[in-house]
Structure 1
């Protein structure tokens, strides 16, 4: 691994971590495009790597800060448990589907989804 690659990984990791803690994004919105553009990974490789980075220990401190903030924190743990269980199942199903899709098509699907989200965030109150 070259020094340039290591520096790129450090920048991607810091950006994704800061944005994850700041606005709740990081994996798909930040890391996947940066892995593709700056490291030359395929869409499949970038998505898999993004998911691997977000394994449970990675978000522990960010979740802890939200949990301890204010009176009682900002996390409804009942909702978190339900969604995380279904996220676990959905992630398995989604990854199986993604690996069957051509990477060019997967990039387009990913890009359209990001555009839709961006437009809704910009133009809704």
Structure 2
């Protein structure tokens, strides 16, 4: 593959990932991972290594992108900070644990289970009314901590930021309004993606067959080009998010969660 085409695909992937991060509060790994995987295969990287590198590099991109996205959401008053330290601390630990587990066990069964969980979540998202104010936000430290742990585990195990499950739980279970669920999820993903990224760097430190310019499983070349566009787009998208009707954001989340669920099961 021509290097210019390679770079352009990465820049385009970064735009899509940044759009998802800023607008919807999810990491964008569903876009970043397959693009990288395809490109690595085209350069002769072995399939299993290519997938792990794609996971790890996606988390590195998500980490940087979510810092900018969260800053914008915070300035717009859309980040609930009351329980955020619990979510982020447990999310970081969960992501580290999930990454270590993922390189030592077959996660195919977990992917299928996660896929069915996503589809179950979609039905709840369709039929349950989302909160439209802050009056009923849960005050449970345990539930917020559990959310962080689950989101972190999914991040480390499956190479996703965790927002794909955090936002439905924040809205359906913890009663966050949609816009504040997006902003709070963005902040949470900073911790989960950082934990996963660090773990994948350590785990891949002495692994053979990695592409050039890799730091552990994180490929710095792909990271650079993806991050260039993702961080810029994420900031603009975060500002747009506050102006979009909550129902439209809900429908976008439903479509993404449904797609992820079907993909994990192997139907798409």
Q: TM-score range by the shorter chain?
A: 0.7 to 0.9
CA contact 1:29–1:114 (8 Å) conserved in 2: no
**Cα distance, 1:113 vs. partner?**
2.6
Alignment partner, residue 18 of structure 2: 17
The CA distance in 2 between the partners of 1:11 and 1:122, in whole Å, is: 32
Gaps of 5+ in 2: 42-46, 128-268
The CA distance in 1 between the partners of 2:52 and 2:116, in whole Å, is: 20
Root-mean-square deviation (CA), in Å? 2.6
Alignment partner, residue 94 of structure 1: 98
1:63 to 49, 53, 70: 70
Q: Are 1:120 and 2:121 counterparts?
A: yes
Local SS of the residue matching 1:85: helix
- Flag the 1:24–1:51 CA change in 2: closer, same or farther, 3 A: same
CA contact 1:27–1:51 (8 Å) conserved in 2: no
CA contact 2:10–2:35 (8 Å) conserved in 1: no
Alignment partner, residue 56 of structure 2: 48
**Cα distance, 1:115 vs. partner?**
5.8
Alignment partner, residue 81 of structure 1: 85
The CA distance in 2 between the partners of 1:122 and 1:29, in whole Å, is: 21
Structure with higher Rg: it is 2
The CA distance in 2 between the partners of 1:101 and 1:121, in whole Å, is: 28
The runs of 4+ residues in structure 1 deviating greater than 6 Å are none
Deviations 1:78-107 (A, max 9, x none): 3222111111111110000011135xx54x
Gaps of 5+ in 1: none
**Cα distance, 1:65 vs. partner?**
1.9
More relative contact order, 1 or 2 (CA 8 Å, 6+ apart): 2
**Cα distance, 1:47 vs. partner?**
1.0
Q: TM-score, normalised by structure 1?
A: 0.75
- Flag the 1:111–1:14 CA change in 2: closer, same or farther, 3 A: farther
- Flag the 1:111–1:11 CA change in 2: closer, same or farther, 3 A: farther
- Flag the 1:52–1:109 CA change in 2: closer, same or farther, 3 A: same
